[in-house]
Every structure is written in C-alpha cells, then in structure tokens.
A and B are shown apart, each in its own frame.
Chain A
Amino acid sequence: MSSKHTAGAVVIGGGAVGTAIACYLAMDGIDVTLVERGEFAWGSSRRCDGHVVTYDTPPGAYSQFCKYGQDMFHDAAKFLPVDFEFSPEGLGLLVDDERDLDTVRANYEGKKNEGIDVTLWDRADVRHHEPNIGDSILACLNFNGDCKLNPMRLCQGLALHAEANGATLMTRTSVTGLRTDGGRITSVETDKGLIQTENVILAAGVWTPLLADMVGLTVPVRPRQGHVVVTERVRNLVGKNYAEYGYLLAKGGKTRCNATPEMEHFGVAFVLEPSHAGTILLGSSRRYVGMNIRPDPRVMRIIAQRARHFYPALADTRVIRCYAGLRPCTPDAKPIISPTHLQGLFVATGHEGNGIGLSLITGKLISEMVRGQAPFMDISYMGLDRFGSDAAARSATTTTA
C-alpha cells in the first residue's frame, strides 16, 4: 500500500455527481483521478429512479438551474460512449383534489413564463391519454421536456468518457484521510496509496460529512430515505412518467390536503416511471432513519395504496422487487456546489432527489471552479458558507426519524 501518484484533481465519489465532475474536468484538460470505494453508482445513484425533471421546483432561479441541467443531457446522450436510455418523453403532475386546482394553474403560468414547455390537461384530456387513470384525477400539469434515463448506465458512461479523456478511475478504493498544509489541500490518503493533488472534490452523497470531518469541516447533509417498488414487465398500462401534484409538498415536508396520516408519516407521494425495460418503478417515500437502506414493507404498502389510487390497473400487476436509497438533504433542500475555507477543497452534494438530473450541470460548474473561472450561472445561494457557523450545521447531521 505504498504506491503514490499525483493528480490535478481528485474526485471522491463515483455516483452520478462524482462521475460527471470527473468527466467535465477531464474534458476540460485537467488530470483527474476518481476514487470510489465500491463500483460506479454504488450508493444512492443505483437506488433511485431515473427521472430528470423540472417539475419539482417552484418557479425561480433554482428552477432555471434545473432546466439548464436537464437540457445538458441531450448533448450528453450524443457524446457519452454508453447508451444510458435517455428518453425526453415528459412527465405529468396528476391532480386529484379540487383544492389544488388554483395553485396548479398558478404553477402552470409561472413555469410557462420561465420558458418551460408545459401544457395543462383537463379531466377529459387525461382520460384520453391515459385510459387506465383513476376516476378521481381532475387534471394533469405536463412538463413535456422532463426526461428519464438509466442512472447506472449514465455513471458508467460518464466514467468511461472521463477515462477516454485521460482520467484515472480508482474503484474499490477507500479514502482513509485528507491532508492539508497551511490552509490548502495537499493529498488524499487511500487504501491503495497516497494521491498528491491541489484539488479535491467531495461528491460522496450522504457519506460526504464523514469525509469533510477528516479536515474538520462540517457539511450539513442528512440522509433522507426513499423507496422504489418495481413491478413485473407490463405493456400498455401507462404512457409516460407521472407524479402526484402533492409530491412538491411532500418533498418540502409540508402537509397535503388529502394525504392520510400514514402517507404523511412515511412521506409517501406518488411517482411513476415506466422503465426502459418495461417494468414500472413506483415511489416515493421520504423519512429520516439514519443510514438504513433496508426496504420496509410498511412503506411499500403505502406506496402501493397511493399508486393504486392514481392507476387502479396497477393493482393487478405483481411487485417483483423493492429497494431503498438515501437522498443527501441539506437544511434548505438546495445542493451545495461550493468551494470551502480550504484552498482546493470543494463540495458537490446535497441534491436531495435531483442528483441524477443535476449531475451534469454540477460537473460543469465544479470544473469551472477548479480551473479558477467564474461560474457561468450565479450559484452563490448554493455555497457551503450559507449555513453559517458550525452550530447550525451540526444539528442537521443528527439522525432522527
């Protein structure tokens, strides 16, 4: 364990964000080494769905950020060496409660003004497009540019493209320490040797706080557990991606007007993705249970109930598997894409449920930061320093349900 090498930048974390950062750095001519303790997409990037969306942010600067991030996938689908099953087929937000109709229309207008391709279906339109939809669905707000992809293949594609552009990929390699000297990062200790470098990017999702701790830095990211329930392959059940309008509220931890106590307790909000393979991925759930990724049948049951409400035909499909993953969540639910007080140390995590969709834009921005360029978009609101002193940050890393 005494091999030594140098790198222009070391990215720690081989999920969607880490591999994207490595890819953009490599494309921009930086000699980058990616270190991942497992294989690619080993953590949350293999325990999520494949949605790349703009529906789940209210209109504003962050929404435009998400839209830019989404648009980048169209190019990536052309230049990455792996087919990651990219499909810009759109997503519909299903409305099942009259009390939501006013805010739905306001949302529609707001997003339209931002240049996002949205259309509004009424009750009859929904039934025309989705014969299997549940009776109580009143309307659907369509985000026609929203997409899906295969997150694991995306990671593989980004990693291989990084490698083709000169990156060194070190999988099955654990980081054991970070070294600093005089306020700047100097090297990364791993179980396969030391890597001397001037730039380190922590992109390890919910494990980022552990790495940051190695240099006394507090990164306020909490793991927020989600579930995905997978059905057998089916045909002609559903036409595209859907979610319930209340998803926006569940994500923000706000109560919905028609959710049951159990739905609120487990943070269940309907999400549906017809996968490329023909299975249907159903979600979602949100709760804080520490680092637990063991699926819970009690949550699966509520997801099943919610899914049946929107698509009664789903009752007759068979559930063949389920998995649970951890979303890195910050106190204000916005990512951290930021330098730190240590020169050369950057943090890229906290994407809470949008890690896949925001991976490419994060990669591009981090590459700019590392190369000393001003970021092409104003992302000062994603700085680590917005969390102020350590006290606020420390409280966010406790694990309570």
Chain B
Amino acid sequence: MRSIWDVIIVGAGPAGMCAAIETARQGLHTLVLDRQSEPGGQIFKSVGSSALVNHLGSDYSAGLPLVEEFKNCGATFLPSANVWDIAPDRVYFSAQGQSRCMTARQVVLATGAMERPVPLPGWTLPGVMGSGASDILLKSAALLPQGPVVLCGNGPLILQAAVHMHHFKVPVAGVLFTGRISNLLRAMKHITGALARPGYFLHGIGMAAQTVFSQKCTFAVRDIRLEQVETERLTINFTNMSGSKKSLQAATVLLHEGVISESRITRLARCRHTWDERQRYWHASADEWGQTSVPGIRTAGDVACVRGAVAAQAEGRLVGLDVCHELGRLNMNERNRLADSHMSIVRRCRALQPFLDEYFAPTPSQLQPADDAVVCRCEELTAQELQQTIRQGCFSPDGLKAQARPGMGTCQGRMCGQAVAEMIAHTQGLPLDQLPQYTAQPPLFPLSLGELADMPMPPDLS
C-alpha cells in the first residue's frame, strides 16, 4: 500500500464518507481510516449489513445509498484501523496488529461524537449503558434489551430509544426526563430557526409526542441512584418534581444526557477550541470549509460541533470540495458552484441548532455528581475523593489529574473529563470556559509496545 496520500480522512461516518466521495471524484489519492469494521459511523452503523435496515426508519436507511457510493468512489478504505497520532502532514495508525505512519497533504478529522457521560451512583453497574449503545446493538446485531427497561436523561437519543422500544414491544418501566421544564420556554425564543428545517422539526415533535403518549414518563427528575438487586435486576431510585422519592425496577437502564463532540483527537492536534455555553462542551473552531486553527488539519461533522447526520454530510462535502481546491483540482468558481447547495443545507441546520441546544440543554445540577458516584470509571475514583483533592488546591482538570489520577486510565479522560471540569467549576467558583479539557497526548488509542517498536518509519520522517 502506498504511504503518501493527497488526503487522509479519519472516520467513515457521514462526514468522512462525503468528504472522501468529493476528493476521490477529483482524482485525489484518498485514504479513509475507521475503527469500525464497516463504514457508516454510528448513525449508519452496519447499514450495509443490518437485518433491520428497513425497520428503523428512513433516517437510518438513507445511509445505504451513501455507503454504496462511498464504497465505489475510488477512495481506499481501511477498516478496523485505530489512528493514534496525527500531525498536519501525517497520520499514525494501527491496523491488524501493525502500526504505520502515512503522510498526507491534508488531514481531515471526521471522528464524530459521543454521548455526554454524566456520573450517577451505580452507573458503572452491569446492565447500565448509554442509550446510544442500545441503538448500536439494534442496528449492528439486531439485539433488543429484554426488559423491563428504564430510560433516563435528556436528549434526542432518549426519544429515539423510546420510539424503538415501543415499535419492538420492549417493556419500558418508565422514561425519566432530567431536563428542566423551563428548557422549552428558553427554546421557544429560537423557534423561527426551527422553520428552516420544518420536516426534521416535525419529525422530532412526532417522536416526543409518541414517547409521551406511549410510555410512562416522569419529568424533571433528580437525585437518581442505581442499585443492583441481583444479576440483571436493577433498582432506579429518583426524586420527582414534587419532591417525592420513587423507584422503578429494570433489567436494563439506558442513560442519555445529550451528544457532544469527542474532542480528544482535535485536542491532540492542538487545534483551538470554543466553549459551547448551552450544551457545555468544547469543540474545535473551524471555518465553513472545515479549516481549523492548525493549517492542514480540517474537521467535518460532529467532531467539531454536534449538528447531526444531515449537517455532517453537507460539511463533509464542503471540506472535500475545499481540499480539491487547495490541492489544485478545482478552481474557486468551480468549488463555489459545487458547494452552493451544501452551504444552504449547513445554513439550515445551523438555524435549527439553537432551538435544539436549548430544548435539550443539560440541567446543571444533574452535572454535579453525588458523593458516591464513580466519576473516573477507569481509575475508580468517586466524586467525594476527587472533591477532597480539589479543595486541597486544584483549579483545572489537568491540575486534578496530576494530584488524583482522573483521566490517567485507559479511556484517557473521555468519560470523566467534562464531569471533572463541572466539579471544579462548582467548587472553585470558576467559569467553565476557563477550564480546558485534559491535555491530549498520543497515543489516541492504546497499542502494544511491541507494535510501537516495530513500526516502520518513512525514510524522510525518521
């Protein structure tokens, strides 16, 4: 396989596939790397092989023609490849137990988002998972939770999960919403933006209505605690709006508190990041062509700002077109002409976003973990232990990491980083936009020391 590429795209979800289609079309040597064994990312997970491709709605099946187009576009696709370091001119990755370094003239990061991890007492128990996980199991393996299921949280994937559970007749013991009632009022200020995407907006209202009418919903819950009664039986304790303590029993608990950029890769690239006040996460700053503060490194899709699959595809196309322009395959007029329709899609998606962000805004008190909640799952550190160290004098996630080890485990802070920032902000009275996430260092994903030792280096980069 060649080791010198025109463009290397990390991530074969909607954004990555669309960028690759544009660059490959213009004859650029395009390499696409993805950790999964098939293209599609999370939203189109296994769409090429899923037994349920026609049973999960058009949002999912729309991925099939895209995946087909991607597979035939002439880009080289390397599945099951873990990118573990990047620079503007190169990518280091591990595939089939071997690491390699490949050079590129442009690098595109399209590695998407993750569910916001919100520590709760008992969230580490077997049987508790993100609602996105349940969605992935459904798409990729046609698996459903046995039930009873409790859904808990605030965000689009809770509604998605509730609709799937209803469709497949999975018993749901309850849907507990943690969002504030006032979110809707705040969101209504941005209602005109919703008119930019009326179809999508109505679809969302439909899902919300279906959930409310078909499931036992409780609103504005707090103080959620999960306990294991016995294998595959969990108790969900919570306090409702009027202050009463309630509980539910379930075999599976699905948690969801919104979708945020998985920004470790853009932080590793040392891109400049912006703080999103409504949705409370950091994401890389990029222009309309995906160019970040680091020349040669671009972003497309949810990795730089979570706006969903339609926006991700349009952004992917724009990034691909501008890469073609940058590398001399399209002049500016050609680029602009081809970009026009994608630009208008992006504009419409951006117009709707404030409404969604406000409606699904996380509840700040929900983000302050209870004392006995395990905040750093990898290092098994509770909120109480971490607060003790914070009070000794820690003023940033990196500061706390150095003293108490959160973020030093295998996940390298993906699951605890933002929760740690929320705790420090609260205890030390600091604004969140002054608390950068943990410094990201290579490797982005673990690789064996032997593999690192055996990695061949291109001669000019030794």
Interface residues of A (CB under 8 A from B): 38-42, 46, 82, 152-153, 156, 159-160, 169, 171-172, 229, 231-232, 262, 277, 279, 282, 294-295, 297-298, 300-301, 304-305, 307-308, 314-323
A348 to B114, CA, bound (A): 46
Contact of B443 among A38, A298, A315, A320 (CB under 8 A): A320
- Min CB distance B372 to A, Å, is 22
- Does B457 have its Cβ within 8 Å of any Cβ on chain A? yes
Which of the segments B163-171, B181-189, B404-412 contacts the partner chain? B404-412
List 11 A–B pairs whose Cβ atoms lie within 8 Å, in order of A's numbering: A39-B394, A39-B399, A42-B399, A153-B403, A160-B393, A277-B408, A282-B449, A297-B455, A298-B462, A317-B448, A318-B446
A82 to B388, CA, bound (A): 12
Chain B residues, CB < 8 A from A316: 448-450
Q: Chain B 76-92 against A: per-residue CB contact (8 Å), 1 yes, 0 no?
A: 00000000010000001
Which residue of the partner chain B has the closest CB to A276? B405
Most chain B beta-carbon neighbours within 10 Å: one of A39, A41, A297, A298: A297
A297 to B458, CA, bound (A): 13
Chain B residues, CB < 8 A from A307: 449, 453
- Min CB distance B90 to A, Å, is 9
- B408 and A321 contacting across the interface, CB-CB below 8 Å: yes
Which residue of the partner chain A has the closest CB to B379? A277
A24 to B445, CA, bound (A): 43
A290 to B240, CA, bound (A): 58
Given contacts A41-B402, A152-B402, contact A295 B452 (CB under 8 A): no
Interface size class of B (residues with CB under 8 A): 20 to 34
A52 to B240, CA, bound (A): 55
A305 to B456, CA, bound (A): 12
- B446 and A319 contacting across the interface, CB-CB below 8 Å: yes
- A294 and B270 contacting across the interface, CB-CB below 8 Å: yes
Chain A residues, CB < 8 A from B412: 320-321
Contact of B462 among A262, A320, A322 (CB under 8 A): A262
A376 to B382, CA, bound (A): 46
A41 to B400, CA, bound (A): 11
CB within 8 Å: A-B pair count: 101
A5 to B65, CA, bound (A): 70
The 9 closest A-B pairs by CB, nearest first: A315-B450, A304-B453, A318-B446, A39-B399, A152-B402, A304-B452, A305-B453, A46-B402, A304-B449
- A298 and B457 contacting across the interface, CB-CB below 8 Å: yes
- B448 and A156 contacting across the interface, CB-CB below 8 Å: no
A232 to B412, CA, bound (A): 11
- A308 and B393 contacting across the interface, CB-CB below 8 Å: no
Which residue of the partner chain A has the closest CB to B407? A321
- Min CB distance A36 to B, Å, is 11
A156 to B449, CA, bound (A): 32
- Min CB distance A324 to B, Å, is 8
- Min CB distance A306 to B, Å, is 9
- Min CB distance B389 to A, Å, is 9
Which residue of the partner chain A has the closest CB to B457? A298
- B393 and A315 contacting across the interface, CB-CB below 8 Å: no
Chain A residues, CB < 8 A from B461: 298
- Min CB distance B403 to A, Å, is 6
Chain A residues, CB < 8 A from B441: 295, 321-323
Given contacts A294-B270, A297-B101, contact A159 B393 (CB under 8 A): yes
- Does B46 have its Cβ within 8 Å of any Cβ on chain A? no
- B446 and A300 contacting across the interface, CB-CB below 8 Å: no
Chain A residues, CB < 8 A from B238: none
- B392 and A160 contacting across the interface, CB-CB below 8 Å: yes
- Does B345 have its Cβ within 8 Å of any Cβ on chain A? no
Chain B residues, CB < 8 A from A159: 393
- Does B275 have its Cβ within 8 Å of any Cβ on chain A? no
- Does B442 have its Cβ within 8 Å of any Cβ on chain A? yes
A399 to B325, CA, bound (A): 37
Chain B residues, CB < 8 A from A294: 270
Contact of A301 among B395, B403, B448, B453 (CB under 8 A): B453
- Does B396 have its Cβ within 8 Å of any Cβ on chain A? yes
Q: Chain B 420-462 against A: per-residue CB contact (8 Å), 1 yes, 0 no?
A: 0000000000000000000001110011111011010100011
- Min CB distance B272 to A, Å, is 15
A370 to B387, CA, bound (A): 37
- B449 and A317 contacting across the interface, CB-CB below 8 Å: yes
- B450 and A308 contacting across the interface, CB-CB below 8 Å: yes
Chain A residues, CB < 8 A from B408: 277, 279, 321
A317 to B453, CA, bound (A): 12
A318 to B446, CA, bound (A): 6
Chain A residues, CB < 8 A from B92: 297
Chain A residues, CB < 8 A from B462: 262, 298
- A39 and B395 contacting across the interface, CB-CB below 8 Å: yes
Most chain A beta-carbon neighbours within 10 Å: one of B85, B270, B403, B412: B403
Which residue of the partner chain B has the closest CB to A42? B399
- Min CB distance B112 to A, Å, is 22
Which residue of the partner chain A has the closest CB to B455? A301
Which residue of the partner chain B has the closest CB to A300? B452
Contact of A297 among B85, B403, B450 (CB under 8 A): B85
Chain B residues, CB < 8 A from A156: 392-393, 403
A288 to B226, CA, bound (A): 53
A315 to B448, CA, bound (A): 6
Chain A residues, CB < 8 A from B452: 229, 297, 300-301, 304, 319
Most chain A beta-carbon neighbours within 10 Å: one of B398, B402, B461: B402
- B453 and A39 contacting across the interface, CB-CB below 8 Å: no
Chain A residues, CB < 8 A from B395: 39, 171-172
Q: Which of B14-41 contact A (CB under 8 A)?
A: none
- A319 and B449 contacting across the interface, CB-CB below 8 Å: yes
- B449 and A152 contacting across the interface, CB-CB below 8 Å: no
Chain A residues, CB < 8 A from B403: 152-153, 156
Apart from A38-B399, A277-B405, A320-B443, what are 12 other A-B pairs with CB-CB below 8 Å?
A: A40-B399, A160-B392, A169-B393, A279-B408, A282-B449, A297-B442, A307-B449, A307-B453, A319-B447, A319-B452, A321-B442, A322-B442
Most chain B beta-carbon neighbours within 10 Å: one of A38, A40, A304: A304
Chain B residues, CB < 8 A from A301: 452-453, 455, 457
A40 to B393, CA, bound (A): 9
Which residue of the partner chain B has the closest CB to A230? B408
Which residue of the partner chain B has the closest CB to A279? B408
- B396 and A318 contacting across the interface, CB-CB below 8 Å: no
Chain A residues, CB < 8 A from B101: 297
- Min CB distance B437 to A, Å, is 15
Given contacts A294-B270, A295-B441, A298-B461, contact A315 B453 (CB under 8 A): yes
Chain A residues, CB < 8 A from B457: 298, 301
- Min CB distance B132 to A, Å, is 24
Contact of A39 among B85, B393, B448, B450 (CB under 8 A): B393
- Min CB distance B227 to A, Å, is 28
Chain A residues, CB < 8 A from B379: 277
A154 to B442, CA, bound (A): 26
Q: Chain B 348-368 against A: per-residue CB contact (8 Å), 1 yes, 0 no?
A: 000000000000000000000
A321 to B409, CA, bound (A): 9
A301 to B454, CA, bound (A): 8
- Min CB distance A387 to B, Å, is 33
- A319 and B85 contacting across the interface, CB-CB below 8 Å: no
Chain B residues, CB < 8 A from A323: 441
- A232 and B410 contacting across the interface, CB-CB below 8 Å: yes
Chain B residues, CB < 8 A from A282: 449
Chain A residues, CB < 8 A from B455: 297, 301
A42 to B409, CA, bound (A): 20
